[in-house]
Structures are given as C-alpha cells and as structure tokens.
Chain A
C-alpha cells in the first residue's frame, strides 16, 4: 500500500518561496502521476497541479505561474515550489497519488507570516 509523507517548513515569510517534498513509500514513484493540493482553513481543497514520473507537469492557471513541480525517481520523491507567497497561500498542503487524489499524505500546515 503506497503511503505519502509531506515535509518542509511550516512557516514562510511573505514574498519568499514555499518548498515542500513528498516522499513515497511502499511503492515506486515510476509509472504514475502525482499531485499537490492545498486546503485553506475551513475551505474546500484546491489542486495546485500534477506531475508525471518523467517530470512532465501541469499547473493550475489560478497560481499565475508561481508554481514549479519536480520529481526525483532515485529518491522516490516529488516536490513543490510556490514563489512570491502571501497570506492567501496559508493552508494545509497535501501530496497525493494520481491526478485527482486517489490517496493522500497526512498534510502539512504552511503559514505565511513575517
């Protein structure tokens, strides 16, 4: 059974870059799509984008080009970078399997504040 675990800083300053990594265990990252979601407190989830294990990525237009995703098959990890963050980017960030979220990591709260 594939498990996912997010890691990264829980506090990011405004205008800086949010960076998170998702480690996949119990299975290979190869052959599948992987995605990132976020959920602001009390709101519905939002997909940020998804990436194929080859490195080909598709991003949500709502992020205005601020996002980059990458994959490291040797480490069985994939990553998210979100640039120029503001308080509106404060949310629980989740990594997930497949483009729609077949299974999810436990999530990590990222707060944007000075």
Chain B
C-alpha cells in the first residue's frame, strides 16, 4: 500500500492569510495526486487533480505543486468559506487518502 502523510493535522489561520498543507507519499507516485475539500456533513469535492491542475470552477486562490513523493497545497488569501477539512489522495497504486487537515479560522 502507498501511505499518504499529511501535515499539519489541524491549522488555525486568519482571513487573508496564505495557508500551506503538505503531503508525503511512501513511494514515488509521479503526479498522480489529487486534493479534496470536505465541509462538515458534505461529500469531498475535487479541487486539484494531477498535483497542480485546478478543477473547473475552483477559485484561483487554490493551487497545488509537487511530484514524486512530496506535494504542497496552498490557499492564497484565506476566505471564511474555505473552512473545511482538506485531503490529499494518491491514485497510482489503488487509491489512498491522507489523514486530513482540519482548517479553522483564527
């Protein structure tokens, strides 16, 4: 199994801040890495696919980068509606998710 390790597990930031979440794979996954947003009581929503490509309709403040084993997800200028849990997901070897990063407003 390919294990995905996200950090931090939780994060508190202010509106307007730049927020960064990292995800590390236990083996090389090339760019087969997606980022999801999940709001309470809702299904996960795909934001970034193939490490750095934004899904249609996703605000430009969300971005992703990386390849191989190390990946980064960034929110530029945090907005109140961005409060959610964010997950990375690899899909080259079965499908596995990171443990999630719960983002709160300070």
Interface of A toward B, CB cutoff 8 Å: 44-47, 60, 94, 99-107
B24: min CB distance to chain A, Å? 15
Known interface pairs A100-B34, A100-B89, A100-B91; A44-B46 also in contact (CB < 8 Å): no
A47 to B94, CA, bound (A): 9
Q: B44: which of A60, A99, A104 is its contact (CB, 8 Å)? A: A104
Judge if B87 is at the interface, Cβ distance under 8 Å: yes
A62: min CB distance to chain B, Å? 9
How many B residues touch A, CB cutoff 8 Å?
A: 17
> Is A105 in contact with B94, judged by CB distance below 8 angstroms?
no
Q: B95: which of A100, A102, A106 is its contact (CB, 8 Å)? A: A100
Which residue, B34, B43, B49, B97, has most C-beta atoms of chain A within 10 A?
B43
A105 to B97, CA, bound (A): 18
Q: A45: which of B44, B49, B91, B94 is its contact (CB, 8 Å)? A: B44
> Is B97 in contact with A60, judged by CB distance below 8 angstroms?
no
By Cβ-Cβ distance, the 6 closest A-B pairs, closest first, are: A104-B43, A100-B91, A47-B95, A44-B97, A107-B43, A45-B97
Which residue, A44, A99, A102, has most C-beta atoms of chain B within 10 A?
A44
A60 to B97, CA, bound (A): 14
A79 to B49, CA, bound (A): 26
B95: min CB distance to chain A, Å? 4
Residues on B with beta carbons closer than 8 Å to the beta carbon of A94: 43-44
A44-B87, A47-B95, A107-B43 given. 8 additional CB < 8 A pairs? Answer: A44-B98, A44-B100, A45-B87, A46-B97, A100-B91, A103-B46, A104-B45, A106-B42
